[in-house]
Amino acid sequence: MAGRKTGADSAKIEPLRPPRPCPICGKPSDRKAYPFCSARCADIDLNRWLKGSYAIPVVEEDGGTTPDDGID
């Protein structure tokens, strides 16, 4: 009764997804607030986004220069 290799390698269990640290505080992320560790950090990130979006100047492109329609 020899030749069966069981148990030796079964201890190696790799997680499907490596836990991501929270981008705000670096703690392990939580499922509920993924990819953040908590709703609080998600809120902080959201506020950063909102502030950032306000800081970005809006550039509207009209699709190039359009010639006037014969205004004399």
Q: Does 37 bind Zn ion (CB under 5 A)?
A: yes
Give the residue with the Cβ less far from Zn ion, 6 or 30: 30
Q: Does 50 bind Zn ion (CB under 5 A)?
A: no
List binders of Zn ion among 6-35 (CB under 5 A): 22, 24-25, 27
Number of residues that bind Zn ion (CB under 5 A): 6
User: 39 and 31 in contact (C-beta within 8 Å)?
Assistant: no
Position 5: which residue type?
Answer: K
Give the residue with the Cβ less far from Zn ion, 43 or 50: 43
Return the half-sphere exposure (C-beta side, CA atoms, 13 A cut-off) of residue 57.
2
